[in-house]
Amino acid sequence: MSEVALTEEVVDRGARLQGDVILRLSNLESSYGPVQAIRGVSLEVRAGSIVTVLGANGAGKTTVLKTISGIIDPQKGGVWFDGEEIQRRDPDWVVRRGISHVPEGREVFPLLSVRENLMMGAFTRRDGDGVTRDLERMYGYFPILAERRSQEAGQLSGGQQQMLAIARALMSRPKLLLLDEPSLGLSPKLVKEIFDIVRRVNREEGTTMLLVEQNASVALATADFGYVLEVGRIVMEDRCDRLLEKEDIKEFYLGMKGDSVRGERRWKRKKQWR
Ligand SMILES: Nc1ncnc2c1ncn2[C@@H]1O[C@H](COP(=O)(O)OP(=O)(O)OP(=O)(O)O)[C@@H](O)[C@H]1O
Ligand SMILES: [Mg+2]
């Protein structure tokens, strides 16, 4: 990147971090039976920004997203979105309110075509013309989906299914997109391709994004602001450019100390979905 482009990026990032708070979690606690998965999580997401939550396996990342989208109800604390308290609402209601969730492990409908999967993402909408236009927009962002539009989603590669899951979530025209580990099990090249598109959608559509990731290097390169989650608690928060400079982050999340081979091959060792 040239120096001018870099300066513009820093200015843009600053502007995105000045927006109104569109999502606020306050002291959120969620459990699975006796297992308390998140233990008082508070965070803020500003409109138009990309915020990431980093954490290792089992830290509680997926639970945070499931609590926001209404899949599980919190025991304590609150979720405020766009001026309204939304915890304990049904997932359907949350989607209509403007939050769309790309779940961990993609979960496309394998026997439906790519186009039918995308149309499922628009189930809340009544504006047929708008849906058709958005379908074309998604094919513009993800040309491979246009090529495969009539093919069954189950026949796509892992990376293509991840693209389909993201595009499907965007078909509801969300104000906030929740992304659960989109890099999981994908090669570095595909991860880069997908995150480039995620950034483009954020810039061009103004879609606010909350991204949870174990892959800290790609998440910190993509997001504006980051939180670090350990065993259900936020232990660090800062702008991503500052997090990248912190020794703890370098050591534990970027794998820059000691075990460099592991750092390089990490994506292959992660759990695979297909
Ligand atoms: N359905 C469940 N039943 C019981 N415990 C669960 C369930 N789902 C998650 N947990 C537990 O809750 C904690 C947080 O899990 P969560 O899935 O939110 O973590 P995560 O950060 O998304 O991990 P990963 O990186 O592996 O996806 C873990 O201790 C996990 O074992
Ligand atoms: Mg998870």
CA-nearest of 93, 34, 36 to 60 is: 36
Flag whether pLDDT at 259 surpasses 70: no
Please indicate whether residue 185, judged by its CB atom, sits closer than 6 Å to ligand 1.
no
3-state secondary structure of 210: strand
**Per-residue pLDDT at 3:** 66
Torsion angle of C-alpha atoms 183, 185, 187, 192, degrees rounded to 10 = -10
Residue having the nearest C-alpha atom to atom 18 of ligand 1: 60
| pLDDT single digits (tens) 26-56 | 999 999 999 999 999 999 999 999 999 999 9
**Per-residue pLDDT at 253:** 80
Flag whether pLDDT at 207 surpasses 90: yes
Ligand nearest to the CA of 214: 1
Residue having the nearest C-alpha atom to atom 17 of ligand 1: 62
Q: Which of 29, 35, 213 to mutate to test the pocket of ligand 1 (most atoms within 8 A of CB)?
A: 35
pLDDT band at residue 13 under the 50/70/90 scheme = confident
**Per-residue pLDDT at 255:** 73
Flag whether pLDDT at 156 surpasses 90: yes
Please indicate whether residue 271, judged by its CB atom, sits closer than 6 Å to ligand 1.
no
Please indicate whether residue 34, judged by its CB atom, sits closer than 6 Å to ligand 1.
no
**Per-residue pLDDT at 1:** 55
pTM of this prediction?
0.90
Please indicate whether residue 58, judged by its CB atom, sits closer than 6 Å to ligand 1.
yes
Output phi, psi for 37, to 5 deg. Answer: -90, -40
Residue having the nearest C-alpha atom to atom 7 of ligand 1: 32
**Per-residue pLDDT at 220:** 95
| pLDDT single digits (tens) 115-149 | 999 999 999 889 999 999 999 999 999 999 999 99
Flag whether pLDDT at 267 surpasses 70: no
Please indicate whether residue 32, judged by its CB atom, sits closer than 6 Å to ligand 1.
yes
Percent of the chain with pLDDT over 90: 79
| 213 CA distance to ligand 2 middle (Å) | 8
Residue having the nearest C-alpha atom to atom 3 of ligand 1: 32
| 9 CA distance to ligand 1 middle (Å) | 35
Residue 63 alpha carbon, nearest atom of ligand 1? 18
Percent of the chain with pLDDT over 70: 89
Mean pLDDT, residues 208-229: 95
Cα(122)–Cα(144) distance, integer angstroms: 20
Residues 85, 90, 96: CA angle, nearest 5 degrees: 75
CA-nearest of 118, 71, 70 to 79 is: 70
Mean pLDDT, residues 75-100: 96
